[in-house]
Chains A and B, each alone.
Chain A
Amino acid sequence: MIKVTSLTKSYGLVSAVNDVSFEAASGQVTALLGPNGAGKSTILRILSTIIDPDTGSATLGGFDVSTHTTDVRRQIGVLPHNTGIYDRLTAIENIRYFGNLQQVEPTLLNRRVDELVHLLDMGEFCNRRVSGFSQGQKMKVALARALVHDPQYILLDEPTNGLDVMATRALRKVIHNIKAAGKCILFSSHVMQEVGNLCDHLVILGHGRHKFSGTIEALEEKSGTEDLEDAFIMISSEGAPDQ
């Protein structure tokens, strides 16, 4: 389980995240929703041990991100928003690099790589160098790299950004797959529609503050509309200084 408690983070005078608390359970897909600048990336970066929170805490499987950094790092798989893979390495080399850094045992690593290549349908391009890959292919490589050590917690930062329908479908299939394996998946998005058929649980942020936690049904009930987009806009801008 991912547990975020009263998390606060500022960059200089700008408050990015302000007293946010939520939980994300294992065997579930949790969506972190919010308009641009709502603090989604900051929370994901705190959870992936890139930055430290100012106050509050975040734990993954009981390990605190600030104090048990290495334990957390062994359990997370991170898909950054711009994929961040190496152009001059092949797809497989990219995946194996992180597998080795996670110190996955060699025979197991070979098996994992084969599985992921199959699961993400990368057979055609897995031995080619990444330079020149399409956005969808790059996303697959980055996702495989994030999953290579079979992490319990999977953090995806706007995973569908720039993907076409085919690639989005492939991604959805993989997310369902790892959910079925009992993993805890947390992904951020600013597109309400794609969330509907993907997630079990919603966390909506607005201006760095927590606005809503619950299922889609609960959201519809709270906002009094069945249109998810309307509900999203209503909830996320609630109490905003400029509204």
Chain B
Amino acid sequence: MNPFLTVLAKECTDNIRDYRSVFSSLSVALLGPLLVVGLLIFVLDKTLRDYEEPIAFTLIGAEHAPGLVAYLRANNTQVDQREPVEDPSTLIELGEAEIILVIQPNYGERYTDGLQNQLALFFDSSSYSSGRRDLATLDRLIERYSDTIGTLRLRYRGIQPGLIRPIQTRKIDVSSPADRALMIFSSIPYLLMLVIFTGCFYLAIDATAGERERGSLEPLLTQPISRFQLVLGKVIAAAAFSLLNLIVFLISLYFALQLVPFESIGMSLELNLLQLIMIIAITSPLTLFAASLLTIVSAFSKSYKEAQTYLSFVIIIPTLPLIITQIVGIEPSLGSMFVPSLGQSILISQIIKGEAVSYINILLSVCATLSITLLLLIQAVKMYQREQFVK
């Protein structure tokens, strides 16, 4: 058997038997998608409720303004009518109401006389949560009613309503529940990077810093195997576990997505097999990159503990380009394909959103990442060749 394969097989066996570490890295891959989907279902649920749920409020003095009340009732509201109380705010304090609209007994009189009516709207800005939307909507409804009446009165008197209201804005919210869902989906590339790096985390430490600390590195280095084959065996073993983690993550994501009620927001987002394979093809060079990078860092550290500390920081590095580009707002360009992790993230986002993906970009990203990986590998071999390495 080729010595490289011997090392590869040994490192894989060794790592698989370290149940705890295997389980802990796989759990990230398994639970990550559930977390995203859970968040997604929560947001969708809330958005849909916002769209459909009636506005709830308490009304005092409904009999004084039948016109207004009829208008409110016709506009998806849930009215809780009450007898007048001395201080309506106590109802809120007692928790019996969240929003109270009070209509004074002289409403009809003033209405007929063409005077302005002040309606009191009681609420507690420090306590209510779902009421915030209700309050704004109710306020808007009343305003719209008031506008309509006012406009009619002006017209009746032969005055153009535009005279007192020269400007009016019209707000058009083009966001849909589907857009909000996609926003949550943009966290998937981050998670993917994390999953790839945690996949090879333990093996990279164990096969380098761990091996040195336990004193097994020295006899290993007396074997007639080139340092390049030795390092390659270790790096590929580590990358294999990253790939395993990646595949587990995607499978978990695939099934988790089935739980999301996409049809309720009129959108069909499903990852098909082709898309999954494309994601694997695009990100697999990154597993080699991660394995080489982590191997170098743990070869550089003096002990297992030190390696763990360094690597916990290094794991954050692949997410930095993503965060920086989002903050600075760099447009995804050809150049970004050359940066490992950034190129892949952009491509994955495009695939998830169902946008067209340029094959040149894929090729660029794969080649760039592999070239950088090769440089890292050469560096790792150099570190293994130094005699201070065993100390």
Decide if B224 is an interface residue (CB 8 Å cutoff). yes
Instruction: Tell me, rounded to whole Å, the shortest Cβ–Cβ distance linking B118 to chain A.
Output: 79
- How many chain A residues touch the partner (CB < 8 A)? 31
Decide if A80 is an interface residue (CB 8 Å cutoff). yes
Please determine whether A97 and B6 come into contact, CB atoms closer than 8 angstroms: yes
What is the 8 Å Cβ interface bit string for chain B, positions 97-127, against chain A (1 contact, 0 not)?
Answer: 0000000000000000000000000000000
What is the 8 Å Cβ interface bit string for chain B, positions 361-391, against chain A (1 contact, 0 not)?
Answer: 0000000000000000000000000010010
Which residues of B (183-219) have their CB < 8 Å from a CB of A?
214-219
Instruction: Tell me, rounded to whole Å, the shortest Cβ–Cβ distance linking A64 to chain B.
Output: 15
Instruction: Tell me, rounded to whole Å, the shortest Cβ–Cβ distance linking B223 to chain A.
Output: 4
Instruction: Tell me, rounded to whole Å, the shortest Cβ–Cβ distance linking B203 to chain A.
Output: 12
Decide if B1 is an interface residue (CB 8 Å cutoff). yes
Please determine whether B223 and A84 come into contact, CB atoms closer than 8 angstroms: no
Chain A residue numbers with a CB within 8 Å of B1 are 100, 103
Rounded to whole angstroms, the CA-CA distance of A74 and B215 in the bound complex is 21
Binds A, one of B13-21, B39-47, B277-285: B13-21
* Contact (A100, B214) CB under 8 Å given A50-B221, A50-B387, A52-B387: no
Please determine whether A50 and B218 come into contact, CB atoms closer than 8 angstroms: yes
Chain B residue numbers with a CB within 8 Å of A74 are 224
Instruction: Tell me, rounded to whole Å, the shortest Cβ–Cβ distance linking B103 to chain A.
Output: 78
Partner of B222, one of A48, A88, A129: A48
Please determine whether B218 and A84 come into contact, CB atoms closer than 8 angstroms: yes
Main secondary structure of the interface of B (DSSP, over half): helix
Decide if B10 is an interface residue (CB 8 Å cutoff). yes
Chain B residue numbers with a CB within 8 Å of A97 are 6, 10
Decide if A133 is an interface residue (CB 8 Å cutoff). no
Chain B residue numbers with a CB within 8 Å of A89 are 10, 13-14, 17
Decide if B182 is an interface residue (CB 8 Å cutoff). no
Rounded to whole angstroms, the CA-CA distance of A146 and B223 in the bound complex is 10
Decide if A83 is an interface residue (CB 8 Å cutoff). yes
Please determine whether B214 and A84 come into contact, CB atoms closer than 8 angstroms: yes
Rounded to whole angstroms, the CA-CA distance of A86 and B207 in the bound complex is 11
What is the 8 Å Cβ interface bit string for chain B, positions 298-325, against chain A (1 contact, 0 not)?
Answer: 0000000000000000000000000000
Chain A residue numbers with a CB within 8 Å of B84 are none
Give A82's nearest chain B residue, CB to CB.
Answer: B215
Decide if A49 is an interface residue (CB 8 Å cutoff). yes
Chain B residue numbers with a CB within 8 Å of A78 are 218-219, 222
Which residues of A (98-118) have their CB < 8 Å from a CB of B?
98, 100-103
Please determine whether B387 and A51 come into contact, CB atoms closer than 8 angstroms: yes
Please determine whether A70 and B224 come into contact, CB atoms closer than 8 angstroms: yes
Decide if B161 is an interface residue (CB 8 Å cutoff). no
What is the 8 Å Cβ interface bit string for chain A, positions 130-144, against chain B (1 contact, 0 not)?
Answer: 000000000000100
Instruction: Tell me, rounded to whole Å, the shortest Cβ–Cβ distance linking B142 to chain A.
Output: 72
Please determine whether B14 and A100 come into contact, CB atoms closer than 8 angstroms: no
* Contact (A86, B387) CB under 8 Å given A76-B222, A78-B222: no
Please determine whether B387 and A101 come into contact, CB atoms closer than 8 angstroms: no
Please determine whether B222 and A84 come into contact, CB atoms closer than 8 angstroms: no
Rounded to whole angstroms, the CA-CA distance of A165 and B13 in the bound complex is 35
Rounded to whole angstroms, the CA-CA distance of A48 and B1 in the bound complex is 24
Instruction: Tell me, rounded to whole Å, the shortest Cβ–Cβ distance linking B37 to chain A.
Output: 35
Chain A residue numbers with a CB within 8 Å of B218 are 45, 48, 50, 78, 80, 84
Chain B residue numbers with a CB within 8 Å of A49 are 221-222
Please determine whether B17 and A84 come into contact, CB atoms closer than 8 angstroms: no
Rounded to whole angstroms, the CA-CA distance of A97 and B216 in the bound complex is 12
Chain B residue numbers with a CB within 8 Å of A201 are none
Please determine whether A88 and B223 come into contact, CB atoms closer than 8 angstroms: no
Instruction: Tell me, rounded to whole Å, the shortest Cβ–Cβ distance linking A60 to chain B.
Output: 12
Decide if B225 is an interface residue (CB 8 Å cutoff). yes
Please determine whether A93 and B13 come into contact, CB atoms closer than 8 angstroms: yes
What is the 8 Å Cβ interface bit string for chain B, positions 1-27, against chain A (1 contact, 0 not)?
Answer: 101001100100110011000000000
Instruction: Tell me, rounded to whole Å, the shortest Cβ–Cβ distance linking A234 to chain B.
Output: 33
Give A109's nearest chain B residue, CB to CB.
Answer: B1
What is the 8 Å Cβ interface bit string for chain A, positions 71-95, against chain B (1 contact, 0 not)?
Answer: 0011010101011111111000100
Which residues of A (162-177) have their CB < 8 Å from a CB of B?
none
Give B226's nearest chain A residue, CB to CB.
Answer: A70
Please determine whether B223 and A86 come into contact, CB atoms closer than 8 angstroms: no
Please determine whether A103 and B3 come into contact, CB atoms closer than 8 angstroms: yes
Give B19's nearest chain A residue, CB to CB.
Answer: A88
Give A69's nearest chain B residue, CB to CB.
Answer: B224
Decide if A145 is an interface residue (CB 8 Å cutoff). yes
Give B230's nearest chain A residue, CB to CB.
Answer: A101
Chain B residue numbers with a CB within 8 Å of A98 are 219, 223
Instruction: Tell me, rounded to whole Å, the shortest Cβ–Cβ distance linking A208 to chain B.
Output: 18
Rounded to whole angstroms, the CA-CA distance of A101 and B221 in the bound complex is 11
Which residues of A (158-191) have their CB < 8 Å from a CB of B?
none
Chain B residue numbers with a CB within 8 Å of A52 are 387
Give A101's nearest chain B residue, CB to CB.
Answer: B223
Please determine whether A86 and B216 come into contact, CB atoms closer than 8 angstroms: yes
Chain A residue numbers with a CB within 8 Å of B13 are 88-89, 93
Please determine whether A73 and B219 come into contact, CB atoms closer than 8 angstroms: no
Partner of B14, one of A48, A82, A86: A86
A-B contact pairs, 7 of them (CB 8 A): A50-B221, A50-B222, A82-B215, A93-B13, A97-B10, A98-B219, A101-B225
Q: Which 8 A-B pairs have the closest CB atoms?
A: A73-B224, A84-B216, A84-B215, A100-B6, A101-B223, A82-B215, A88-B17, A51-B387
Extra contacts, 8 of them, besides A52-B387, A88-B17, A89-B17 (Cβ < 8 A), are A45-B218, A73-B223, A78-B219, A82-B215, A86-B14, A87-B214, A98-B219, A101-B6
